[in-house]
Amino acid sequence: MPALLIVTLLATELLVMDRLAPAVAYGQFTDFYTAGHADLGIEYNASLQEFETHLHVGRNAIVNGVPLVAETVYDLETTLVTSDGFAQRPDDSGLGFAFAPLGIETGEHFWWLPQNYFDAVSGGDDGLPHLGWSANAAGTFVDDQLTLALVDVMSPSGIGLYSLWSNSGISANFVHANFDGIDASDALTLATSGHDHFNLAFADPNGLTAAEGLWTITYGVEGELLTGETISSTFRVNYWIGNGSPVPEPSFALAFVGLAMAAMVPRKRRHPRHRR
């Protein structure tokens, strides 16, 4: 991905975003995705010549406290992806410190959305989100590929550590990580058909508690059309991380229209799970 695009996207976002403030007020979130399979979908609208994004949630996934009876599409701006599962950075000294991009020390814990389906469904209570990343634009872009770049990280403390990686045996292949800043290397390639799953980590230099709350991650997507024109845009995904979840009980969903002033509904605290 051209470095100029990353720098341009980041500069644009920083002009309109306050890192210490939520991207949207809590009361504007209407849907809460807490478990089951979903894909963050990227589609190309040829008539408008722009990318469109959404959250495509599968049947039996948990949204607003209840299982879905059918696949449903949700607006990313008004949907929270939530996780209260966490894992521990392994002793990876024998792996060349492959997990260094987490930005935390060996033995410290981080909040986690797992790549592996079985880790997601065994996450306790109703499980954890099993979030995939998909594109739907086959035959439109050069090499049938798009680039998904990390543009900005907003965390509860303002110094949060976000990363995204895929498992490679017992090691890890990090493609997004802001522990050393954000540049053109913080990008992954997505095929324009099919989908992939990755691990997501949310950590803080001051520990798990400091990382709890609302995270807003801004991504940039770019592709070169077969005609030679480059199409790019940014979008945000909102994550609620940790035990102090704002997810409403099913029978009280409507009461959370004024969520910014309502009391938080605590969820059962999970015990640390040691994963790689």
Range scoring the smallest mean pLDDT among 14-18, 66-70, 200-204? 14-18
Residues 6 or more apart whose CB falls under 8 angstroms from that of 266 comprise 243, 244, 245
- What pLDDT, on a 0 to 100 scale, did the predictor assign at position 169? 77
pLDDT level of residue 247 (50, 70, 90 thresholds): low
Residue 148 has pLDDT above 50, yes or no: yes
Task: Enumerate the β-bridge partners of residue 129.
Answer: 36
139-141-145-148 Cα dihedral, nearest 10 degrees: -130
Q: Residue 141 in contact with residue 148, Cβ under 8 Å?
A: no
Residues 6 or more apart whose CB falls under 8 angstroms from that of 205 comprise 103, 104, 159, 161
Better pLDDT: 99 or 248 = 99
The mean pLDDT value for 215-227 works out to 97
Summarize pLDDT for 5-42 with one digit per residue, the tens: 433 343 333 333 333 333 344 567 999 999 999 999 99
Residue 271 has pLDDT above 90, yes or no: no
For 169, the 3-state DSSP assignment is: coil
Residues 6 or more apart whose CB falls under 8 angstroms from that of 216 comprise 22, 23, 24, 154, 236, 237, 238, 239
